[in-house]
């Protein structure tokens, strides 16, 4: 779970910037001001990991909400809504804001990646794959009942479960491909040049998993996810949570810096989550 939170905070300051920079550079290129196609500023892994511009977003808030729901056997939807109302300015989408305020009249069946960004506690707190898939679906459906929204959450949770149980990268790649149909036989280098902002599960979950598969360590996976541009906080959160399960915990010194961005109530739930894992 901490890998998701770290990825969210790292990616927060870059979200959407690649699209703006890319349009400007294409205009300059067409006017003959620059030669060739230059990658936007954040289409790189060479950046300072954490700066004062970073902040936690809805990815962190709702990840903690899912953890709290599991730890205290609370309803997923009610707990997610409660946390969203506590942190109303964390960066939610328009339809989600209506839902959390009970202003949404129609059924909420999003195919967006909000279900996948918050699901990491499921992959840690349940101990068989069938239950992980069922609980991932349960955590998604209050807001992301579309089949793609459910599938995205299940894919991330399953990858975490397999990674923490000792599965190799090829095992994870094969399972996710066979079960969910995502194309994971690409590389970040191949994807990056033409990748654009995409909040759908089908357009961001596979890419985040590939960032993990291409990575050398937890932080490298977060950097690779951010380097795609687009929905950088969520992509980095998804890559980071799998990376933590595969490579091991966030380094203590890095966690200390990460916690400086978080309020005490969120840190308290994270601590309870850690204690539960140690007992289990």
Domains of the chain: 2-41+55-273 (1.10.4080.10)
Instruction: Provide the b/e sequence for 182-204 (b: ≥16 CB within 10 Å).
Output: bebeeebeebbeebebbbbbbbb
Rounded Cα distance, 200 and 204, in Å: 6
Whole-angstrom CA distances from 62 to 4, 58, 146 are 11, 6, 19
On the question of pLDDT at 219 being above 70, the answer is: yes
Coil, helix or strand at residue 261: coil
In the predicted model, what is the mean pLDDT of residues 216-231?
Answer: 96
What are the distances in angstroms from CA 274 to CA 77, 126, 131, 260, 269?
Answer: 23, 14, 20, 18, 9
Pick the closest to residue 184 from 175, 197, 193 (CA basis).
175
Predicted local confidence at residue 42, as pLDDT: 58
Q: What percent of the chain has pLDDT over 90?
A: 87
Q: What is the pTM of this model?
A: 0.92
Q: How far is it, in rounded angstroms, from Cα 256 to Cα 129?
A: 32
Q: Which residues of 9-30 are buried (b: 16+ CB within 10 A; e: fewer)?
A: bbbbbbbebbeebbeebeeeee
Cross-strand partners of 131: none
Residue 181 has pLDDT above 60, yes or no: yes
Express each pLDDT in 54-103 by its tens digit.
999 999 999 999 999 999 999 999 999 999 999 999 999 999 999 999 99
Tokens 């899912």 sit on residue: 66
- Mean pLDDT for all residues in the chain: 92
pLDDT band of residue 30 (cuts 50, 70, 90) is very low
Dihedral angle over CA of 164, 170, 176, 179, nearest 10: -120
> Tens digits of per-residue pLDDT, 129-168?
999 999 999 999 999 999 999 999 999 999 999 999 999 9
Contacts of 56 (CB under 8 A, 6+ apart): 5, 8, 9, 12, 90, 261, 262, 266
Report in angstroms the alpha-carbon separations of 217 from 3, 9, 251, 252: 11, 18, 11, 15
Nearest residue to 267 via CA among 101, 60, 106: 60
């Amino acid at each position: 779970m901490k890998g998701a939170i770290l990825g969210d905070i790292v990616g927060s300051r870059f979200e959407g910037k690649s699209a703006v920079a890319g349009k400007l550079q294409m205009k300059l290129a067409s006017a003959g001001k620059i030669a060739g196609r230059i990658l936007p500023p954040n289409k790189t892994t060479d950046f300072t990991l954490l700066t004062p511009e970073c902040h936690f977003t809805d990815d962190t808030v709702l990840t903690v909400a899912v953890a709290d729901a599991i730890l205290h056997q609370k309803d997923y939807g009610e707990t997610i809504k409660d946390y969203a109302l506590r942190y109303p300015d964390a960066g939610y989408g328009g339809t989600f804001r209506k839902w959390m305020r009970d202003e949404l009249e129609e059924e909420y069946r999003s195919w967006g990646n909000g279900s996948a960004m918050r699901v990491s506690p499921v992959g840690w707190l349940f101990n068989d794959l069938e239950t992980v898939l069922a609980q991932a679906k349960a955590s998604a459906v209050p807001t992301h009942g579309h089949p793609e929204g459910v599938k995205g959450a299940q894919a991330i949770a399953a990858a975490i479960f397999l990674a923490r149980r000792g599965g190799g990268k090829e095992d994870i790649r094969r399972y996710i491909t066979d079960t969910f149909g995502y194309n994971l036989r690409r590389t970040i280098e191949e994807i990056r040049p033409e990748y654009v902002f995409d909040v759908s599960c089908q357009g961001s979950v596979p890419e985040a998993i590939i960032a993990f598969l291409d990575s050398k360590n937890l932080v490298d996976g977060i950097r690779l996810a951010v380097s795609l541009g687009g929905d950088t906080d969520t992509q980095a959160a998804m890559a980071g949570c799998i990376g933590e399960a595969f490579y091991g915990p966030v380094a203590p010194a890095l966690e200390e810096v990460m916690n400086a961005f978080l309020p005490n109530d969120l840190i308290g739930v994270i601590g309870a989550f850690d204690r539960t894992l140690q007992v289990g």
